[in-house]
Structure 1
Amino acid sequence: MEQRVMMNRSELPALITMGVFKPAQPWIHVDRILNMDTLLYVVDGEVTVCEEEIDYTLSSGQAFFLKNQCRHWGKSPVAPGSTWYWVSFVPFQPRAEQEPLFLPKQLTLSSPESFMDILNAMLRLYRSAAPFSTERMNGLLYQALYELLQQDLQQREKHRGSALSSRIIACLKQQLEQPFDSKRIADRLSMNYTYLGRVFKADTGSTINEYYRKLKIQRAIELMHAEALNLSQISEQLQFPNPYYFSRVFKQVTGLSPRDYQQQLYR
């Protein structure tokens, strides 16, 4: 089972140590148990680590958390030139009055540049004796942790959107020979159609109805290739209101009228 690192919404983290590591020789992570949580961020190369018998491979642009009091070690050497940051901080303690936030175990950052800016600003403060450097570092660490939470949330929502879009498309394919019915789709998925349309548009760039028309035209083209049906018969089989409307939609999707398409088909 993955060991997740937690944080509290209204509490600044307390940084203990940080730095950048770039081995000049093949290097293998030592076998140890720490009393602090540690954020790793890989800039170049690949890092392998095992935590509580679970193997992880960290690639460039990925963040990873090692949890306090969990045994971790390296199973294979890290190649020279691989580069990563480490940021160790005091573990947050659960609070009875608020729900904790659990940081992603491993995350590929969608905007690594801004995250690197935060880490570099922290590192400059860590190496300086500037006034309030500790407080400023902890504030930046708080910002970095929330950046990871936000990107993890966005990626999860995108994944959910893609999964829901696939279900919507499956419903559309089952009713290609029926008139478009938004209520049937909503009932089939037990969701509000306005919500479905918003998620589908964000994921595919197309409305559900536009996508449905494209699927119907794809089916019409399949029928032109496979069966000896005239255009009126295809229009009727796919439940278009009339052949004229079928021709109009066909041209909107393909750029050709059905008759022009057929003429190209049989040349």
Structure 2
Amino acid sequence: MNQIRMHTGSFPLVRDVGMTLTSEGWVHPDRITDFNVFIFVIKGQMQVVEEGTEYILRAGMGFFLKSGLHHLGTAGTIPGTSTIWIHFSEGLQDAHVPERVEEGSLQPFQASRTYKVFGPVDYRFELLLPKLVELQEPASFISKVKDLYELYCSAPLFGHVLLSIKTMELFLDLYRLHHDPERHRMTSKSDAVVRKLALYLEEHWESLLEPDRIRAEFGLNYRYMSTLFKTRMGISIFHYHERHRIHKAAELLKSTSMNISEVSDKLKYTSPYYFSRVFKKVMGEAPSVYIRNIYRM
């Protein structure tokens, strides 16, 4: 569907922002750009063709055009259609990710409901932006898009940086609205199993991963659950459990007087040395460095 993949460790780099009010005979420009385009229709109807696929955009719809593809308009745009658009590139990679990331090499983005401390690994995900979104109650989103346009027009100091940050916020809002859990609940039996298993792993963070215990708890083949979990979550059962345990360990180091050995023992690691290796892999720094960097009241 020619969707845009954003790296969650960076933000979109805004080129420019504008508004369009169409007149009789207006059509979308026939072009191939080296930047992406986000279009939001405030009122009216706009027609866009991308690589031969026609899209009809109505009021309350947001749409992403991907760079490097052929876009044009033919007919179908209504005179008086009002839109706001953003031209942007995907953004820069952070220092912990190779400069050139092959498409599909990053894991899909997944929300962390329980983490309170985040390491570099938590930003090594891709956000697959929806191609087309229709908002049922767009008033609040329209207000944010207009604020973004006003920011672009006012050109404050570091305005381009602020624009890019707020555009990322806007895209995250759009992503959340598109994946509203109240409208897009996981209803299949397999998805219910994945949700229940993730909750089980989070609740048993003090224990080592025990496949036999999980098999008995769920009454399902462990290999089947492993495949299902990896498919739905984009991460293995082991690594999901490991990451959650290390985030809990970081919380203990931050909010209690426990030392590294005590936390290692609490989480049943074989040794503080092994615990430190896993901690550094997940958090990007050794627990001793993490402790030094903690701001204590």
TM-score clears 0.5:
yes
Correspondence 1:204-223 to 2 at 5 A: none
- Aligned residue for 2:60? 61
Whether the 8 Å CA contact 2:22–2:82 is kept in 1: the answer is yes
CA distance in 2, matches of 1:159, 1:77: 30
Once the two structures are superposed, the pairs formed by residues 68-87 of structure 1 within 5 Å of their partners are 68-87=67-86
1:160 positional shift: 4.3
For each residue in 1:24-64, what CA deviation from the matched residue of structure 2 results, as whole angstroms up to 9, or x when unmatched? 32211121100001100001111111111111111100000
Indicate the SS of the match to 2:154.
coil
Contact 2:46 2:57 in 1 (8 A): yes
Structure that is richer in helix per residue:
1
Contact 1:26 1:77 in 2 (8 A): no
Cα offset, 1:142, TM superposition: 0.8
Structure index of larger Rg: 1
Q: What CA deviation, in whole Å up to 9, does each residue of 1:242-262 have, x standing for no partner?
A: xxxxxxxxxxxxxxxxxxxxx
Are 1:113 and 2:139 counterparts?
Answer: yes
Which residue in 1 is equivalent to 2:240? none
- 2:4 aligns with 5
CA contact (8 A) 1:47 1:59 kept: yes
Paired with 1:42 and 1:61, the residues of 2 have a C-alpha distance of: 6
| Identity value in percent | 26
Q: TM-score, normalised by structure 2?
A: 0.51
The gaps in structure 1 that reach 5 residues or longer are 165-188, 196-267
Q: How far apart are 1:66 and its partner, in Å? A: 0.1
**Which runs of 5 or more residues in structure 2 are unaligned?**
93-99, 107-123, 197-297
Cα RMSD, aligned residues only: 2.4
CA distance in 1: counterparts of 2:23 and 2:30, whole angstroms: 20
Aligned to 1:158: 183
- Give the Cα separation in 2 of the matches to 1:145 and 1:85: 14
Counterpart of 2:129 in structure 1 is: 103
Deviations 1:174-224 (Å, cap 9, x if unpaired)? xxxxxxxxxxxxxxx5767x97xxxxxxxxxxxxxxxxxxxxxxxxxxxxx
The question of whether the paired residues in 1 share the 8 Å contact of 2:28 and 2:48 is answered with yes
**Alpha-carbon separation, structure 1, partners of 2:170 and 2:137:** 12
Secondary structure of the residue aligned to 1:75 is coil
Partner of 1:21: 20
Contact 1:110/1:151 (<8 A) preserved: no
Would you say the 8 A contact 1:27–1:77 is kept in 2?
A: no
Which residue of structure 2 lines up, in the alignment, with residue 47 of structure 1?
A: 46
8 Å Cα contact 1:6-1:92 kept in structure 2: no
Greater relative contact order (Cα < 8 A, sep 6+) = 2
Once the two structures are superposed, residues 122-167 of structure 1 have per-residue CA deviations (whole angstroms, 9 ceiling, x without a partner) of 1112112322211211111011010111111116x62445x65xxx
Q: Counterpart of 2:30?
A: 31
Asked whether the 8 Å contact 1:5–1:65 carries over to 2, the reply is yes
For 2:7, the aligned partner's letter is N
**Which of 157, 160, 174 is residue 131 of structure 1 equivalent to?**
157
- The residue that corresponds to 2:233 in the other structure is none
Contact 1:118-1:140 within 8 A present in 2 as well: no
Q: Is the 8 A contact 2:11 2:90 kept in 1?
A: no
Give 2:199's aligned residue: none
Partner of 2:170: 144
Q: Deviations over 1:89-117 (max 9, x none)?
A: 01346646623111000001244222222
**Cα separation, 2, equivalents of 1:41 and 1:64:** 6
Partner of 1:224: none
TM-score for both structures, normalised by structure 1: 0.57
Q: Secondary structure at the match of 2:11?
A: coil
Q: Measured at CA, do residues 79 and 110 of structure 1 come closer, stay the same or move farther in structure 2, by a change above 3 Å?
A: closer
Task: Give per-residue Cα distances to partners, 1:59-81, cap 9 Å, x unaligned.
Answer: 10000000000101112142211
The alignment of Structure 1 onto Structure 2 pairs a total of residues equal to 167
Distance 1:4 1:105 in 2: 6
